[in-house]
Structures are given as C-alpha cells and as structure tokens.
Chain A
Amino acid sequence: MVRLVTIIAALFFLLWLAGLGWAVSEYYAGKQDQVPKASEQKIEKAENKKGLTVVALGDSLTRGTGDETGKGYVGVLVDELKEKTKQPVQLTNLGINGQRSDQLRNQVGQTEVQRQIHKADVIVVTIGGNDLFRGGQGIIEFKNEDLTGIQTKYLENIKAIFEQIRNHNQNANVFFIGLYNPFIELGEGKEMSKVVRQWNYQSAEVSAAFPKIVFVPTFDLFELKVNDYLYSDKFHPNTKGYRLIAERVASLITW
C-alpha cells in the first residue's frame, strides 16, 4: 500500500516536473511555428431561431446612459416587444458610449458584428449625437463651413453603415433614431433647433435611399418641456425620455 502510493506519487512528481519544464520552454523558446491565421469564417446560416432577434447599434442612447433603471430605450423596447409578441426576444446591445459615426462605421466592419447583424430581425441605430453635439460637451460651432464639413462626413459614414447592414442582412427592418435638441431651452436654442432639423432631414434622406430603413424622428418628443425628459446632465434622456423613444419605435415594429 505504502509502496504503491509512493510509486504513484513519484510518477506524478515526474509528470508535473515535465509539465513545468514544458511550460517554461513554451513560454520562451516557443517561437511561433504555428501562427493561427486570421479566420475567414463564413457567416453561418441562421441557427434554430426562436422569437425575435434585436440588434442595437450606436452611442450612449443605445447604451441607456441617463436611465436610472439602466435599460435605455432599447431595454424598454425589448420589454414591450416581449409583451406584444409573447415570444422570447434576444437582444444584442452593441452600443458604445460616446461613439461617433466614424467609429460605428469601423464597428460594423468587424466580422462578429456583421454576423450579429446577419442574425437580426430588427436593427435599431442611434448615431450622430456625438458628431453634432461633440458628446454634449459644448454646442456646435455655428460657423457654417465647420458644420457643413461635419455633416458631410457624418452623412458619408451613415451611408456606409447602412450599406454594410444591407449587405449582410436584406430582410431586417432597420430603425434609425433621429436627433432631438437637448439645448432647445438654452440661449441659442432656436438656432440650434434649426441645425438639428436640417441634420435630421439629411439623415432621413439617406435612410430613404435604402429599402426598409426607417428614420424615426424624436425631435418633436423633446420639443416641449425638454427638461422633464432629460437626465441631470441635460444631454441624455432620463427614464421618461427613453420611454417616449421606445414607445415610438415599438409602435413601428411589425413581425
């Protein structure tokens, strides 16, 4: 008995010693003999699908910044969809705080993001707020040429984003959420509103050029009593504000 245990222990001693030696040599000498090559994974066919798949892309609004419940309009929207459809709804929220349209354009270029888009039944997008309002830091420069520059770039980006989405998914309904003016009650609110309206109009034009991409206005929702619907940073919506957006989008979704 004792002998047997001793022998087994000695064998394990040698095994672990070998493992240790291997680990050290692998850590140092192990020059890459097998470089894993970047995979060109083919986008798989939709797997056993049950219920709706929602993919949310965009910035802090998609993330739900400012909502005390942490849901954001996407969370509320998913809850409503679950209730209405009586089906499981799978949400993939890919929103990133502070994301601008050029960054989203990069994001939709990633293989895995494309695979998610491919699987989606409904895609919701919020973008542009950080392009125009510079992350809520300050109000845009009113100098027209700067603004035009920003806007042209932005329009190019969303066009590219929509092209990517449509490339990978011809069937999903895409809801592109427009901008509201959080600064409407401030000093230059009127002029700001004009800029935002123009911005939204151009965005709607780009959306209209693609099939099944619906521009969803939110400007009117926040036009009166904007402060009731804004979070304390006076830029992001609060819980009530998100609910308004979610209800509007929910009413548009068909299945």
Chain B
Amino acid sequence: MTKLVQNEMLKLIAKKRLIVIGIIIGVLVILFTYAQYKETETQRKKLGTSDWRTILQQQIVDTTNRLSSSRISDEWKKQLQISLQQKQYYLDHDINPAEPGAPTFIRIFLENSIDLFIPLMVMVIASDLVSSEHSMGTVKLLLTRPVKRWKILLSKYITLCLAVSLIIAIAGILSYLISGTVFGYKGWGAPILTGFNITDEGLSTSDVRLLSLWEFLLMDLGLVWFVAIVVGTLSFMLSVLIRSTAAGMGVMLAALISGAILSNMVSSWESAKYFFMVNLRLTDYMKGSAPPIEGMNLSFSMMVLLVWWAAALIVSFVVFTKRDVY
C-alpha cells in the first residue's frame, strides 16, 4: 500500500501541480496584501487617524445609519444588526477585531477563500487524478498489475488527502511570509472572540469566549482543510465518473460558483441548505456572522458536508471497481 501511495505521490510531484498552485497562491496573496494595504491607507487618510477604536466607532455609527434606512431588506437588516452588535461588543471589551499583522491577514484570507479559492486549488489536483489515466491511456497498465482495484483507488485518494493538506499548508505559510513584509510578523497572541450565537432576537453574547489568534487560526485552518477535503472528494468522484477532465472540472466549477451566488439569495428557499455548496463557509460560524439560511450552524453544515463526502467516496469506489475498462 505504501508503495502505491509513494508511486502516486511520485506522479503528483512529477506533474509539478503543487508548484503551480504555490505560484498561484503566491501571486494572489501579493495582490491581496497590496489591496489590504491600500484599503487601510485610504481609511487612515479619510478618517485622519489610525486609531482602531475611532475607526470601529465610526463603523458602528455608519452601520446604525444604514439600519435606519427604510429601503434595506429585512435579511440584510438582520445581518447588519448582528455585525453591529458584534462590533459594539468588541469595542466594549476593548479588543481590536482586526489586530494589524500577518496573522490577521491569514485569518481574513482564509475566511474569504474558503468557499471558492481554496476549493479551486484543490480541484486543480483532484479533478484529473483518475481521468488523466484514462486520457493518457495509462489506466490499462495500472489495472493489469496484480493489485486490487480498490487499493489503487485508495492510494490515489490518500494522495489526494495528502496533497490537500499540503495546499492548506502552502496557503497558510505563503500568506504569512508575504503579508508579513507589509503588516509585520507579529500578532499571534492577539485576542479574538468566538462563540457568538445567532438567535432569533439577534446576537447572543452569553457564550462568547476569548481565544488567542494562533488558536483561532489553527481552528480556521482545520475547517478550511475539512472543506477542501470534501470538495476534493467530490471532484475525485467526478474524475472517476467522467472521463474527460475538462468536463469534470466544469461541473465542479459550476457547482462552486452557484454556491457562492446562492448563499446570497437563498434565505427564503430553505431546502437549499442541503446543498453542499452553501455550507462551505464554515469559518463564518467561528467568527459569528449570520448564516445564509436561518437555522444553519456548524454541526449542521459539517453533517451535510460529511454526507456528501461519504456519498462521493462510495460512488467513486463502487464505480471504479465495477466499471469495464477498455
């Protein structure tokens, strides 16, 4: 088995995909770092201060004013109210919600890339893991070996999981190294709050706990990793089912993008919460922002993702072991 995994890893490294992914992440992180830097700069200029309390207070007042507008929808109003109460809580407890520094950049980067960017990177590896064997014609060589088919597929799947872990690590390390040059490498111990509960009345702060940023980041990375594994498994299944890599990628891409769009408009379509793609933003539960559909929480989303994951895995193995290869 280890031989098989090693063999798959060898193929993966020979394809240089991980390096490509590293370069993509690096370039994007540079862009985001610059964008973030520009944003704080203009904000500082506009308000004439870099004092975070003043900026936060100003944001609170601005949000309050937006709330008083009669033209905004109830949904949006609720989300604004939740973020308002959260900001006020941070301010009342004298905690900066965005302590400047590379760790905060990583947090924001992860929160924004969990539902599209990281899954895309995973797809680059996962979507042709099996189908490329078909298109290159090597699948016959592979299957004529005296090894059981499920073992071959399992070795590919393990390789996928390892590659996903590497991608998350690359994302974390690169964003730390690159953003640190601008924002500084400190801030691991900065306090951050978690445990905000969204209830019908708005935000409940009774369970709020204080964490260090490094603890929070490790949890965030774990959640991102989980999402990446699930998305990777789904692409893996498509790669088994569809022989054309491009078609498999297209299907997955469509699903991911529709998820990003759906999350913004499904609030009234309740059964949409069983789609895997509206459940990808797990880090939002840690941060405490309103879920796209009422009643969703971390365990619900994780259960939905687990069911999709298990189904994808079963389908992959059943199809791969049963199918005729010619």
Within B29-66, which residues are at the interface with A (CB < 8 Å)?
A: 47-49, 51, 53-54, 56-58, 61, 64-65
- The docked-state distance in angstroms from the alpha carbon of A92 to that of B91 is 16
Q: C-beta contact mask, A22-59 vs B, less than 8 Å → 1, else 0?
A: 11101110111111111101000001000100000000
Partner of B165, one of A2, A16, A113: A16
A18 — which chain B residues lie within 8 A by C-beta? 218, 222
**B222→A16 contact, CB < 8 A:** yes
A35 — which chain B residues lie within 8 A by C-beta? 208-209
Partner of A2, one of B6, B47, B191: B6
Within B83-133, which residues are at the interface with A (CB < 8 Å)?
A: 91-95
**B48→A32 contact, CB < 8 A:** no
Partner of A13, one of B5, B6, B161: B161
> How close is A71's CB to chain B, nearest CB, in angstroms?
13
Instruction: Tell me if B289 counts as interface (CB < 8 A to partner A).
Output: no
Partner of B48, one of A31, A41, A88, A97: A88
**B165→A24 contact, CB < 8 A:** no
Instruction: Tell me if B285 counts as interface (CB < 8 A to partner A).
Output: yes
Partner of B95, one of A36, A92, A113: A36
Within B168-226, which residues are at the interface with A (CB < 8 Å)?
A: 168-169, 191, 193-195, 207-211, 215, 218-223, 225-226
**A27→B285 contact, CB < 8 A:** yes
Instruction: Tell me if A178 counts as interface (CB < 8 A to partner B).
Output: no
Instruction: Tell me if A147 counts as interface (CB < 8 A to partner B).
Output: no
A-B contact count (CB 8 A): 147
**B209→A93 contact, CB < 8 A:** no
Report if A22-B95 is in contact (Cβ < 8 Å); known contacts: A16-B165, A93-B58, A94-B61.
no
Q: Of A3-11, A138-146, A161-169, A195-203, which binds chain B?
A: A3-11
- The docked-state distance in angstroms from the alpha carbon of A112 to that of B57 is 7
Instruction: Tell me if B302 counts as interface (CB < 8 A to partner A).
Output: yes
B94 — which chain A residues lie within 8 A by C-beta? 39, 41
**A34→B210 contact, CB < 8 A:** yes
Can you list 16 A-B contacts (CB < 8 A)?
A: A5-B9, A5-B13, A12-B165, A12-B168, A16-B165, A16-B221, A19-B219, A19-B220, A27-B299, A39-B93, A92-B57, A95-B61, A96-B64, A97-B69, A98-B68, A111-B91
Number of interface residues, chain B, beta carbon within 8 A? 54
- The docked-state distance in angstroms from the alpha carbon of A112 to that of B90 is 11
- The docked-state distance in angstroms from the alpha carbon of A22 to that of B209 is 14
> How close is A170's CB to chain B, nearest CB, in angstroms?
21
From A36, A38, A97, residue with most partner B Cβ within 10 Å: A36
Partner of A17, one of B9, B169, B222: B222
Instruction: Tell me if A63 counts as interface (CB < 8 A to partner B).
Output: yes
Partner of A6, one of B68, B91, B162, B302: B162
A9 — which chain B residues lie within 8 A by C-beta? 9, 162-163, 165-166
**A38→B222 contact, CB < 8 A:** no
- The docked-state distance in angstroms from the alpha carbon of A16 to that of B161 is 11
- The docked-state distance in angstroms from the alpha carbon of A204 to that of B58 is 29
Report if A93-B222 is in contact (Cβ < 8 Å); known contacts: A6-B6, A34-B210.
no
- The docked-state distance in angstroms from the alpha carbon of A40 to that of B47 is 26
A27 — which chain B residues lie within 8 A by C-beta? 194-195, 285-286, 298-299
Instruction: Tell me if B10 counts as interface (CB < 8 A to partner A).
Output: yes
**A8→B54 contact, CB < 8 A:** no
A15 — which chain B residues lie within 8 A by C-beta? 165, 218, 221
- The docked-state distance in angstroms from the alpha carbon of A111 to that of B162 is 50
Partner of A36, one of B53, B69, B166, B210: B210
